[in-house]
Amino acid sequence: MIGSRRGRNDATALAHWHLAARIAAIGFLAVVIQESVISQISIFGVSADVTPLVVMAVGLLCGSMAGAIAGFGVGLFVDLALVQTLGVTSLLYIAIGYWCGRLHEVRDPAHGLVPLALGAAATATAGVGMALIQFLLGIDAPVSALLLQQILLTVLVNTLIALPVYELVRRFVWPALPPDPRRRRRRAYTTPGLSPLREPSERLGGQAPGSAA
């Protein structure tokens, strides 16, 4: 019994490390691709920013703790890559990853357009939050109508690519995700013949218990 329990613990720890490695890899790739490629492409006068979308996707798929850790790591890497005040982006991305993860844990949203709405909210949080923090820190970044327009356009562009980014992240981390018992329960309630709400006679093909064919 002790050996089997230890084996389960080792398997769980290995699964957690596997998931952490995949999240770290997707976060690293997101920042590298963002700063080397995507930031050079202008759409409606602004560039898309996939980093808050990746943090949003990790939180929505893996939960609040994984989302917050991913937000801290991705934000710190962004600050280092852009040579800006360390911790500013991390603070915003921690909030994005955590609250998207809380939505996953509390509501477990299944609607296909949820990443679309969360992508817009994450981008708006990152843009407005960055402008506000820079203003409070006294950094030379004047708050103006032009800045607001750039934030709105970035939110629009990110909303258009939120679903593809979410799908890419999902495909990358899904093999390492632990099974979610809520999905099994939902499948039991929605699959014909498996619902516990049905009468025993219905689950047995319409025959009452003890009746002959």
Three-state helix/strand/coil letters over the chain: CHHHHHHHHHHHHHHHHHHHHHHHHHHHHHHHHHHHCHHHCCECCECCCCHHHHHHHHHHHHCHHHHHHHHHHHHHHHHHHHCCCCCHHHHHHHHHHHHHHHHHHHCCCCCCCHHHHHHHHHHHHHHHHHHHHHHHHCCCCCCCHHHHHHHHHHHHHHHHHHHHHHHHHHHHHHHHCCCCHHHHHHHHHHCCCCCCCCCHHHHCCCCCCCCCC
Which pLDDT belongs to residue 108?
72
Which pLDDT belongs to residue 78?
95
pTM of the model: 0.78
Which pLDDT belongs to residue 193?
52
- Where does 2-178 sit in CATH, by number? 1.10.1760.20
Domain limits, the chain? 2-178, 181-213
Which pLDDT belongs to residue 147?
83
Mean pLDDT by 10 residues, the chain (213 residues): 56 78 95 94 90 96 94 95 90 96 83 90 94 79 76 94 95 82 45 48 49 46
Which pLDDT belongs to residue 6?
59
Which pLDDT belongs to residue 177?
82
